[in-house]
A and B are shown apart, each in its own frame.
Chain A
Amino acid sequence: MNKNIILYAAILIFGLAAPFIFPAFKVQLSILCVLIVLALTWNIQGGEMGYNTFGNILFYGLGMYLCASVQVGMFFPLAEWTESGGEKTFVHTPEQFFQGMAMGLVVAAVVPTIVAGLIGYSILGLRGHYFAICTLGLGVAAGEISGGIEIIGAGQGFTTPPFPDVGSLEARGEFFYFLSFMAVVLTFITVKSIYSTRFKLILNAIRDNEDKAEAMGIQTMKYKIIGWMISAFFCGLAGGIMGGLVGYIDSTDVAFDGREMGVFMVLMAILGGKGTLWGPVIGATVFHIFKEGFWTFFLGWQYVALGVLIVVIVIYFPEGIMGWLREKYPERFGEVVDEADRKAQVELK
């Protein structure tokens, strides 16, 4: 326990100091934080509950649009803003920007949660691959439909309010970094605390055998919906932050980007090891480093590399980094292993 506290304190201090140690990578670090949030929330469904969703991108995109719309709509007419496109006819003062951002993030987190609660009863009743395809459809449908709505920019995109001039060039990066870092800390604490309650056991029971769990008297639907609402809350938050960070929202390329973000969150959780607390964090970090480190070498071939990466990870490495570590060093994970038994197993292999 003592060791854990030191570990967490070290990570926290590192997280707080990171933008000052690596000032050039502030945006990358912020994106990493958003990715970790997405991977952690995906893991609640895919890892713990056994419901492999492609649809969490829906909440992410919804949060992104809502945050930006609220931020603009609080002070200026939204329709005129989107019509003016990149040309800035309205400028937020710093107070307006931060007030709008705060309000926007609240809306961005709360509305997706409500949406998840409303559609949860119909969608979460689906099982297995029907659920996976249905959520995939949900994400793409949201992207296509939002691309046809005029007031949020339709096909030409929506420019989020630019960061106001507060006297320092570094301020924008630091603001978004600490915002996303706060989101990560909040998500991690929430996820960790729910994983230490009966709730996690119920989710695992649903994953292992839903009918049996129901027969044991667990109201599985209630817990599935609550789990999805928790995911939606943090996905929406992450989307809101990402919208401000990117500065430009396009319906299918940024917000409801099932081809990138929607797959990334699945991939990161699987790479790190689904069904573990630290797996998504490690997976997101490794994936982001790989992506940013090697993407430039693939110039234009990123998606080819991504496709190959998905296939390779899914086929050859489905248990993920944490699963691999667990197999290699079971003692570290609190499992008692009989040495002779283990040797026999190794020989059998």
Chain B
Amino acid sequence: MDFLIFQVPMLTLQATLDGVLLGILFALIAYGMALQWGVMNIINIAQGDLVILGGYIAYFMYLWGIHPAWGVIVSPFIMYFVGVGIYKLVINKVVDRDLFISILATFGISILFMQLMNFAFGADVVLANSGYGTTMLFDNSVTLPNSKIFSAFISIIFAIGLVIYMKKSKLGRAIRATAQNARAAKILGVDTEKVYAATFGINAALCGVAGALISITFTIHPYMGLPYTIRSFMIVIVAGLGNLPGVAMSGMGLGVFEEFADYILGTEFRIGSVFLLLVLILVYRRFKLSRKREYLK
């Protein structure tokens, strides 16, 4: 291996740290996806577009002279209602139908959002400058933007907050009951329709937080949504539904993988390698499961 990244240990460390911080953000998005997948059995292709929309909210706050970090508070509020709106308009009609119908319907929403954002915000790559500066480590050989550390920190706070909310609050308990058995929950007086709407809203709010953080840390662009959907899908299938430490771990793993792919293959293959990894993971999973099936026979 004569790649530069393996010869210079500081570069390896840099890529790993970058990947871990990035992966925590991915894990937050994946957590939202796991939530609505588990509760409503829907795979939301528009997940990434909700993230980007959340990012634009923070970006506009930045344009209006408000510090974009406040987007972390404002964006989830707005995105919650966007999510509930999408649920009321589209998702509630596909919730108990064939899974492919929901994939295709959310794919339609994704195309719609992409294009509307393109009209509303323009096709430029934008970034909300937080002005947080950079932390230098190890004699200036490893640079970590403070915004990345900030975003990882905020992601962890939101994730822990949500876990506590799901455990303690009445709505959280209703959501978990619906995920276990929607019919039984209905019999026991849970308004599942409301629970579904709230779940989708919470998912969108999480996307909003993640989007706001992404607009501070990286860049946003109307057409960048689909990779985020694929990443969160990948994290969820690797970790399994309802396995929160697993989601965090596989999120970080994906982040590190991406950074290394970026260094070794070049930036133009970064997204391609993410999608290829998805295919490989699914194929691996298929062979593992088929071995299990044979064993059962």
The interface of chain A, by Cβ under 8 A from chain B, is 52, 122-123, 125-126, 128-130, 132-134, 136-138, 140-141, 143-145, 147-148, 154-155, 259, 263, 266, 270, 300-301, 303-304, 306-311, 314-315, 318
**Distance (whole angstroms) from the CB of B156 to the closest CB of chain A:** 28
* Among candidates A52, A134, A301, residue contacting B282 with C-beta atoms closer than 8 Å: A134
Report A-chain residues with C-beta under 8 Å of the C-beta of B99: 128-129, 132
Closest to B98 in A: A318
Report Cα–Cα, A154/B110, bound state, in Å.
27
Report A-chain residues with C-beta under 8 Å of the C-beta of B112: 303-304, 307-308, 311
Q: A133-B282, A144-B269 are in contact. Are A122 and B115 (CB under 8 A)?
A: no
Assess the B43–A133 pair: CB atoms within 8 A: yes
Report Cα–Cα, A52/B114, bound state, in Å.
23
Assess the A314–B104 pair: CB atoms within 8 A: yes
Across the A-B interface, the 3 shortest Cβ-Cβ residue pairs:
A307-B112, A310-B108, A144-B272
Report A-chain residues with C-beta under 8 Å of the C-beta of B109: 307, 311
Q: Other CB < 8 Å A-B pairs besides A126-B286, A130-B237, A318-B101, 6 of them?
A: A52-B100, A52-B103, A137-B282, A140-B230, A270-B104, A315-B94
- With most chain A CB atoms within 10 A of its CB, the pick from B103, B104, B119 is B104
Q: A126-B282, A133-B282, A140-B226 are in contact. Are A311 and B275 (CB under 8 A)?
A: no
Report Cα–Cα, A125/B268, bound state, in Å.
30
Report B-chain residues with C-beta under 8 Å of the C-beta of A147: 268, 272
* Among candidates A129, A145, A304, residue contacting B43 with C-beta atoms closer than 8 Å: A129
* Among candidates A137, A266, A300, A314, residue contacting B94 with C-beta atoms closer than 8 Å: A314
Assess the B100–A129 pair: CB atoms within 8 A: yes
Assess the B104–A130 pair: CB atoms within 8 A: no
* Among candidates B93, B101, B115, B268, residue contacting A307 with C-beta atoms closer than 8 Å: B115
Assess the A129–B103 pair: CB atoms within 8 A: yes
**Distance (whole angstroms) from the CB of A47 to the closest CB of chain B:** 12
Report Cα–Cα, A306/B226, bound state, in Å.
17
B interface residues, how many (CB within 8 angstroms) = 41
Report Cα–Cα, A304/B275, bound state, in Å.
25
**Distance (whole angstroms) from the CB of A323 to the closest CB of chain B:** 14
Assess the B111–A310 pair: CB atoms within 8 A: yes
Assess the A144–B278 pair: CB atoms within 8 A: no
**Distance (whole angstroms) from the CB of B101 to the closest CB of chain A:** 6
Report B-chain residues with C-beta under 8 Å of the C-beta of A303: 111-112, 114-115
Q: List 14 A-B contacts (CB under 8 A).
A: A122-B287, A129-B103, A130-B285, A130-B286, A133-B282, A137-B276, A140-B226, A141-B272, A143-B272, A144-B275, A145-B276, A148-B266, A266-B104, A307-B110
Number of A-B contacts (CB under 8 A): 125
Assess the A140–B275 pair: CB atoms within 8 A: yes
Report B-chain residues with C-beta under 8 Å of the C-beta of A301: 115, 119
Does B10 have its Cβ within 8 Å of any Cβ on chain A?
no
Q: Which of B256-289 contact A (CB under 8 A)?
A: 266, 268-269, 271-272, 275-276, 278-279, 282-283, 285-287
Does B116 have its Cβ within 8 Å of any Cβ on chain A?
yes
Report Cα–Cα, A134/B283, bound state, in Å.
9
Q: Mark B108-145, 1 if CB is under 8 A from A, else 0.
A: 11111111100100000000000000000000000000
Report B-chain residues with C-beta under 8 Å of the C-beta of A143: 272
Assess the A137–B230 pair: CB atoms within 8 A: yes
Report Cα–Cα, A303/B108, bound state, in Å.
9
Q: A141-B276, A148-B268, A315-B94 are in contact. Are A310 and B43 (CB under 8 A)?
A: no
Report A-chain residues with C-beta under 8 Å of the C-beta of B278: 133-134, 137, 141
Does B90 have its Cβ within 8 Å of any Cβ on chain A?
yes
Report A-chain residues with C-beta under 8 Å of the C-beta of B196: none
**Distance (whole angstroms) from the CB of B109 to the closest CB of chain A:** 6
Report Cα–Cα, A311/B90, bound state, in Å.
8
Does B107 have its Cβ within 8 Å of any Cβ on chain A?
yes
Does B233 have its Cβ within 8 Å of any Cβ on chain A?
yes
Assess the B279–A141 pair: CB atoms within 8 A: yes
Report Cα–Cα, A133/B232, bound state, in Å.
12
**Distance (whole angstroms) from the CB of B238 to the closest CB of chain A:** 13
**Distance (whole angstroms) from the CB of A335 to the closest CB of chain B:** 24
Q: A122-B286, A304-B116, A307-B108 are in contact. Are A148 and B272 (CB under 8 A)?
A: yes
Does B290 have its Cβ within 8 Å of any Cβ on chain A?
yes
Report Cα–Cα, A87/B107, bound state, in Å.
39
Does B241 have its Cβ within 8 Å of any Cβ on chain A?
no
**Distance (whole angstroms) from the CB of A111 to the closest CB of chain B:** 19
**Distance (whole angstroms) from the CB of A237 to the closest CB of chain B:** 24
Does B78 have its Cβ within 8 Å of any Cβ on chain A?
no
Report A-chain residues with C-beta under 8 Å of the C-beta of B162: none
Does B171 have its Cβ within 8 Å of any Cβ on chain A?
no
* Among candidates B100, B105, B110, residue contacting A132 with C-beta atoms closer than 8 Å: B100
Report B-chain residues with C-beta under 8 Å of the C-beta of A309: 108
Assess the A315–B90 pair: CB atoms within 8 A: yes
* Among candidates A154, A304, A310, residue contacting B115 with C-beta atoms closer than 8 Å: A304
Report A-chain residues with C-beta under 8 Å of the C-beta of B276: 137, 141, 145
Assess the B290–A125 pair: CB atoms within 8 A: yes
* Among candidates B111, B113, B266, B287, residue contacting A259 with C-beta atoms closer than 8 Å: B111
Assess the B43–A308 pair: CB atoms within 8 A: no
**Distance (whole angstroms) from the CB of A126 to the closest CB of chain B:** 5
**Distance (whole angstroms) from the CB of A138 to the closest CB of chain B:** 5
